[in-house]
């Protein structure tokens, strides 16, 4: 499994909170067309104007096939500028089932 980690900087607290709310509302619809992601995590530092979007992909082929659609997406207003996109191998991915969901 691979993680595509995109860093955003220079956002506003309001813009980041709005983008977060939109993500929570839309996540149940699944990934956007052309994206073969198996999950997403969004981390926000509103005071620092930063966000990380972590998209999970089952295979390298799924990630490669999704890249054009991901690059074509327009970021939400106020989230800032994309400053980096990195790919990591996921070696541990655990969720504790007794904790309520965040958000």
Q: Which domains does the chain have, with CATH numbers?
A: 2-89 (3.30.70.100)
Average pLDDT taken over every residue of the chain: 92
pLDDT of residue 68: 94
The per-residue pLDDT for range 49-78, each reduced to its tens digit, is 999 999 999 999 999 999 999 999 888 888
pLDDT of residue 84: 96
Share of the chain above pLDDT 90, in %: 79
pLDDT of residue 77: 85
What is the DSSP track for the chain?
-EEEEEEEEE--HHHHHHHHHHHHHHGGG-SPTT---SEEEEEEETTTTEEEEEEEESSHHHHHHHHHHHHHPPPPTTSEEEEEEEEEE-S-----TTSPPP-
- What pTM does this model have? 0.86
């Amino acid at each position: 499994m691979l993680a595509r980690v995109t860093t955003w900087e220079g956002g506003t607290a309001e813009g980041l909170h709005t983008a977060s709310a939109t993500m929570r509302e839309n996540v149940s619809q699944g990934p956007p067309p052309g994206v073969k992601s198996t999950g997403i995590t969004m981390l926000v530092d509103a005071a620092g104007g930063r966000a990380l979007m972590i998209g999970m992909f089952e295979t390298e082929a799924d990630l490669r096939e999704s890249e054009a659609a991901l690059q074509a997406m327009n970021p939400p207003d106020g989230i800032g500028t994309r400053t980096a996109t990195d790919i990591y191998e996921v070696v541990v991915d655990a969720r504790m089932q007794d904790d309520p969901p965040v958000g």
